[in-house]
């Protein structure tokens, strides 16, 4: 960084801070703010160029710090505004009381170099991260862009080969890339009216947070990039996601539990396309998942619709999936997923893992068109209990060229298993499965042997009830 710029980025914030302090003396009457009376600081006033070439990191960080100072002294939220421009940045630390306001014609561009994500462990690599913050968020109508394409070593329509930032020894394998946006150990988090695009790795990561609201957010990843997750919600309570649009390669909405349980996640009014699971619980699943609601969601041509990969002993209890249109199809088998519209599994990750159980699931008002059937697979000590399907139309039809006949237990477990038949619903280790008003239709295409409507091993499946279940050939109007 050249000297004048450095000077500017140090002096400007100081001046600004002064004017803030001078114009708003810390008297008790000043602490009462009317709605909308929050302070807004422009990153331009802190020396940001917005030219997309020079790093604006220190200018933006200074604006965030000044805003946070305002919040701690006045208790009112402060906006960091990005006017028209492209702001190249290394890792930024978002702080309490600060709203990043990336306006409609502004883009915050994550740096593509390893030194843009200083040391620490790879789990701390984000373009923007809030740690231990409260009343914090991102909005404005603009975009945050991770330049994920610069992390692709070889583009491949089946699956891109990605770089591994392994030089530092911070991590291994190909999951060695920075995430886009993270909120960690934070409360009262709001992310709305923003596009998050082209992340190098996971896109939006919510970790050990309470009271998070995500709405009117578009997440645009790369359909061929592995680990391009949409929203990962980890060990967090009271998360509300609505009106989201997610088009990406890996799991789109993915609750996980590593160190603590996850309670009260509600997702409504979303559109999703992914080459992995649209909604997936797990695979990290050491603690409980409880009270989750997914409503009014369209899942389009994804590799898997509603999934649970419970592998580490945590239990799942009380989940509702309602009012959905789901289409699932085969893609390359190097991706987890085999076109299952619904995939519920508890086989333990490895011989040392505990078996979690899954109970009290309701699937209601769901229309499915898919290339494979439903997979309900518990384990001897991880039963699937009280599963209900109500008002569902399932159409099984082939339209891609990928071969069928493999059953997917990954990760771990029995892996990909050869299976000659394609079943409408496979059940194993289930106790309590009630089917009410469900119609299952078969296409008579020649690509597939749709030869087993319902498949189960009686010794592991108990208390099954079918009321108003119909099955038959699909008569397509040509």
Ligand X SMILES: *[C@@H]1O[C@H](CO)[C@@H](O)[C@H](O)[C@H]1NC(C)=O
Tell me which H or E stretch contains 358. Answer: strand 358-370
Nearer CB in complex with ligand X: 363/456: 363
Residues 214-273 that bind ligand X (CB under 6 A): 216, 236-238, 260-261, 263-264, 269, 271
Q: At what angle do helices 57-74 and 3-23 cross, to 10 degrees?
A: 20
For residues 128 and 122, the answer to whether their CB atoms sit within 8 Å is no
Binds ligand X by CB under 6 A, chosen from 4, 25, 36, 173: 173
How many CB atoms neighbour CB 31 within 10 A? 12
CB of 56 to ligand X, least distance (A): 20
The region of 17-25, 225-233, 318-326, 441-449 touching ligand X under the rule CB under 6 A is 318-326
Binding segment toward ligand X, per CB under 6 A, in 28-36, 77-85, 211-219, 304-312: 211-219
Torsions phi, psi for 177 (to 5 deg): -145, 160
What contacts 404, CB < 8 A, 6 or more positions away?
Answer: 330, 338, 339, 371, 372, 398, 422, 447, 448
Token pair recorded at residue 132: 């231990």
Burial class (CB in 10 A: 0-12, 13-18, 19+), 360: middle
Query: Of 202-210, 222-230, 346-354, 441-449, which part binds ligand X (CB under 6 A)?
Result: 202-210
With CB atoms as reference, the residue minimizing the distance to ligand X is: 141
In the complex, what is the shortest distance from the CB of residue 169 to ligand X, in angstroms, rounded to a whole number?
6
Min CB(1)–ligand X separation in Å:
28
Q: Does 186 bind ligand X (CB under 6 A)?
A: no
Residues 341-380 that bind ligand X (CB under 6 A): 364-365, 367
In the list 381, 400, 463, 470, the residue contacting ligand X (rule: CB under 6 A) is 400
Radius of gyration of the chain (CA): 24
Q: Would you say 210 and 146 are in contact if contact means Cβ atoms under 8 Å apart? A: no
Residues 305, 374: Cα–Cα separation, whole Å? 10
Q: x/- contact string, 285-314, with ligand X (CB under 6 A)?
A: ------x----x-x----------------
In terms of phi and psi (left: phi > 0; alpha: psi -120 to 50; beta: otherwise), the region of 146 is: alpha
| Interface pattern 84-113 for ligand X (x via CB under 6 A) | -------------------xx---------
- Mode of pairing for the β-strands spanning 134-139 and 161-162: unpaired
Contacts with ligand X, residue ranges (CB under 6 A): 103-104, 132, 140-141, 164, 166, 169, 172-173, 188, 190, 193, 208-211, 213, 216, 236-238, 260-261, 263-264, 269, 271, 291, 296, 298, 322-325, 364-365, 367, 391-393, 399-401, 406, 416, 418, 439
């Amino acid at each position: 960084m050249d000297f004048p710029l450095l000077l500017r980025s140090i002096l400007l914030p100081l001046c600004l801070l002064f004017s803030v302090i001078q114009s708003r003396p810390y008297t008790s009457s000043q602490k009462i703010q009317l709605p909308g009376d929050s302070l807004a600081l422009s990153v331009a006033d802190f020396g940001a160029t917005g030219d997309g070439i020079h790093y604006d990191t220190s200018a933006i960080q200074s604006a965030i710090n000044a805003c946070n100072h305002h919040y701690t002294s006045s208790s009112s939220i402060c906006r960091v505004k990005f006017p028209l421009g492209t702001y190249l940045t290394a890792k930024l630390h978002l702080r309490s009381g600060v709203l990043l306001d990336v306006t409609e014609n502004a883009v915050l561009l994550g740096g593509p170099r390893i030194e843009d994500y200083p040391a620490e462990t790879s789990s701390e690599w984000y373009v923007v991260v809030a740690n231990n913050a409260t009343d914090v968020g991102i909005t404005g109508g603009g975009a945050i862009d991770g330049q994920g394409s610069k992390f692709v070593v070889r583009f491949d329509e089946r699956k891109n080969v990605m770089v591994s930032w392994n030089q530092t020894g911070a991590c291994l394998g190909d999951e060695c890339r920075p995430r886009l946006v993270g909120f960690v150990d934070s409360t009262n988090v709001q992310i709305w009216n923003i596009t998050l695009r082209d992340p190098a790795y996971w896109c939006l990561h919510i970790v050990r947070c309470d009271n998070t609201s995500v709405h009117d957010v578009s997440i645009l990843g790369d359909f061929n990039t592995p680990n391009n997750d949409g929203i990962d919600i980890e060990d967090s309570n009271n998360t509300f996601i609505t009106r989201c649009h997610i088009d990406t390669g890996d799991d789109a909405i993915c609750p996980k539990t590593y160190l603590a349980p996850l309670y009260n996640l509600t997702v409504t009014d979303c559109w999703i396309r992914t080459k992995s699971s649209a909604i997936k619980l797990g695979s990290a699943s050491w603690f409980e998942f409880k009270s989750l609601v997914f409503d009014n969601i369209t899942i389009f041509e994804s590799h898997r619709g509603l999934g649970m990969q419970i592998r580490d002993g945590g239990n799942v209890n009380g989940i509702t999936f309602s009012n959905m249109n789901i289409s699932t199809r085969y893609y390359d088998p190097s991706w987890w997923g085999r076109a299952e519209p619904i995939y519920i599994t508890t086989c333990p990750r490895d011989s040392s893992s505990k078996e979690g159980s899954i109970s009290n699931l309701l699937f209601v008002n769901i229309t499915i068109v898919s290339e494979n059937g439903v997979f309900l697979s518990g384990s001897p000590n991880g039963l699937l209990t009280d599963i209900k399907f109500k008002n569902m139309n399932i159409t099984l039809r082939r339209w891609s060229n990928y071969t069928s006949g493999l059953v997917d237990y990954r990760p771990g477990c029995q892996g990909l298993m050869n299976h000659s038949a394609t079943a409408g619903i496979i059940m194993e280790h289930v106790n309590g499965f009630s089917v009410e008003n469900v119609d299952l239709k078969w296409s008579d295409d020649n690509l597939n042997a749709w030869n087993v409507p319902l498949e189960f091993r009686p010794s592991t499946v108990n208390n099954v009830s079918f009321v108003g279940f119909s099955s038959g050939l699909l008569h397509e109007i040509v």
